């Protein structure tokens, strides 16, 4: 009896020792650096992964490469690219606005990219030195809950939102969403520092609710938690796609003759300086600028196309194309250059 017990112990012991060895072995095999295959590309993307995937898959097919998609906040990606500058791990960066691309350009972290296809895109969207590449665009809008706000009573201007009428009824995404920062940068550029500081203070005093991201804003407005959301146009389409019966209204603010208009932001892509797969990266960017590649981005994310010949998603639901609404005459670089100032002035007001 005693012996059996001891034997039992032995079996247990060897089984556990074996398991440990096996795991260690598996682990070490897995950890060995895999030899980099020729057709490989690492894309650092700040975009929503499910929405950008069709474009990535199309590129994999068209270019015959394997693309590793690394999704994180655009700021985190930029931070990584800066850390990794001596030996870059990523090849291509895709950001949500020109903001981080411009910051990285100034820090010398980006390579240049030129293509005849770029000529089709209006100059205001392009980088001063052809580092980053605009691929699609989105416009800042107000999204309203039509159960809580009748269309004729909806705010017509960003600057109405400090009115006590909207107290506690407005939501916006945190500065983790770069379009929030870009929006204030545009206001800063047009209206000046003093005005903008007063405006943001007014919004805060009026109970502006800062949520984690734009997805939360659209859900909170659609669900009736907040009457008005300051967000981007495609969230309106995303919400309607998820639930066509959502009680939503859409406003293009500040469209009067004396008003500033509402800013447009381009999604930007860029080649990381010293990228291991620079050539593949170039063909990837080139592909994103062809109608075939761009179509996936525009349709997948309901964006406004910047290259001619593409259909505008949501045109039937009141979405306007470039030129059909008023926007401030600012270049993407001008907006981007003011963003660090916005971070600095309003960072605390824009964290949830």
CB of 188 to another protein, least distance (A): 16
Name which of residues 100 to 139 contact another protein (CB under 8 A): 100, 103
* Token pair in block for residue 139: 């416009």
Cβ atoms of 93 and 272 closer than 8 Å: yes
Closest by CA to 182, choosing from 250, 96, 104, 252, is 96
Cβ atoms of 178 and 102 closer than 8 Å: no
- CA–CA dist 71, 14 (Å, integer): 42
- Return the number of the residue (30 or 119) whose C-beta is nearest another protein: 30
Residue 242 binds another protein (CB under 8 A): yes
Backbone φ and ψ for 324, nearest 5 degrees, come out as: -95, 0
Cβ atoms of 204 and 345 closer than 8 Å: no
Element (H, E) at 200: helix 193-205
CB of 271 to another protein, least distance (A): 16
Q: Which residues pair with 41 in a beta bridge?
A: 67
CB of 70 to another protein, least distance (A): 4
Helix runs in 84-131, H state only = 99-106
Using CB under 8 A, pick the residue from 55, 90, 98, 265 that binds another protein: 90
Element (H, E) at 265: strand 264-272
- Return the number of the residue (28 or 152) whose C-beta is nearest another protein: 28
Cβ atoms of 171 and 229 closer than 8 Å: yes
- Return the number of the residue (192 or 242) whose C-beta is nearest another protein: 242
CB of 174 to another protein, least distance (A): 6
- Return the number of the residue (171 or 189) whose C-beta is nearest another protein: 171
Residue 283 binds another protein (CB under 8 A): no
Using CB under 8 A, pick the residue from 223, 256, 290, 315 that binds another protein: 223
The maximal CA–CA distance of the chain, rounded, in angstroms, is: 97
CA dihedral of 303, 304, 306, 308, whole degrees rounded to 10: 110
CB of 5 to another protein, least distance (A): 10
Residue 174 binds another protein (CB under 8 A): yes
HSE at residue 286, side-chain half, CA atoms within 13 A, is: 12
What would the x/- binding string for another protein be over residues 10 to 39, using CB under 8 A? Answer: --xx--x---x--xx-xx--xx-x------
Residue 207 binds another protein (CB under 8 A): no
- CA–CA dist 166, 182 (Å, integer): 23
- CA–CA dist 242, 49 (Å, integer): 17
* Token pair in block for residue 128: 């001063």
- CA–CA dist 101, 107 (Å, integer): 10
Residue 208 binds another protein (CB under 8 A): no
Using CB under 8 A, pick the residue from 114, 290, 329, 351 that binds another protein: 351
Using CB under 8 A, pick the residue from 62, 63, 72, 322 that binds another protein: 72
Using CB under 8 A, pick the residue from 54, 80, 278, 321 that binds another protein: 80
Residue whose pair of structure tokens reads 């670089």 in the numeric block: 333
Element (H, E) at 29: helix 2-31
| Selected range binding another protein among 66-74, 130-138, 292-300, 308-316, rule: CB under 8 A | 66-74
| Selected range binding another protein among 7-15, 136-144, 283-291, 329-337, rule: CB under 8 A | 7-15
Residue 222 binds another protein (CB under 8 A): yes
Residue 290 binds another protein (CB under 8 A): no
Residues that bind another protein (CB under 8 A): 9, 12-13, 16, 20, 23-24, 26-27, 30-31, 33, 42, 44, 48-51, 68-76, 78-80, 82-84, 86-87, 89-90, 100, 103, 145, 147-148, 174-178, 181, 211-213, 215-216, 219-220, 222-225, 238, 242, 343, 347-348, 351-352
């Amino acid at each position: 009896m005693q012996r059996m017990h001891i034997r039992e112990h032995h079996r247990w012991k060897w089984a556990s020792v074996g398991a440990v060895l096996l795991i260690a072995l598996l682990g070490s095999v897995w950890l060995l650096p895999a030899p980099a295959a020729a057709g490989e590309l690492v894309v650092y993307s700040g975009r929503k992964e499910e929405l950008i995937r069709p474009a990535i898959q199309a590129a994999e097919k068209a270019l015959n490469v394997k693309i590793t998609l690394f999704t994180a906040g655009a700021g985190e990606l930029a931070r990584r690219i800066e850390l990794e500058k001596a030996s870059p791990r990523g090849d291509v960066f895709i950001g949500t606005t020109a903001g981080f691309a411009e910051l990285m350009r100034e820090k010398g972290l980006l390579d240049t990219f030129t293509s005849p296809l770029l000529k089709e895109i209006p100059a205001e969207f392009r980088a001063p030195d052809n580092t980053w590449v605009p691929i699609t665009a989105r416009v800042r809008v107000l999204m309203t809950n039509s159960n809580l706000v009748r269309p004729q009573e909806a705010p017509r201007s960003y600057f109405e939102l400090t009115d006590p009428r909207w107290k506690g009824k407005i939501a916006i995404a945190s500065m983790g969403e770069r379009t929030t920062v870009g929006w204030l940068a545009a206001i800063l550029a047009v209206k000046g520092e003093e005005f903008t500081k007063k405006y943001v203070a007014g919004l805060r005093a009026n109970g502006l609710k800062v949520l984690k991201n734009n997805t939360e804003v659209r859900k909170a407005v659609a669900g009736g938690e907040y009457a008005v959301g300051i967000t981007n146009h495609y969230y309106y389409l995303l919400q309607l796609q998820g639930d066509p019966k959502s009680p939503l209204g859409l406003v293009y603010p500040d469209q009067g003759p004396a008003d500033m208009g509402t800013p447009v932001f381009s999604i930007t892509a860029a080649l990381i300086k010293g990228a291991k797969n620079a050539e593949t990266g170039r063909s990837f960017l080139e592909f994103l600028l062809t109608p075939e590649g761009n179509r996936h981005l525009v349709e997948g994310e309901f964006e406004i196309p910047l290259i001619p010949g593409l259909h505008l998603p949501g045109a039937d639901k009141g979405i306007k194309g470039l030129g059909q609404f008023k926007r401030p005459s600012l270049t993407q670089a001008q907006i981007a250059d003011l963003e660090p100032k916005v971070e600095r002035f309003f960072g605390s007001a824009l964290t949830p």
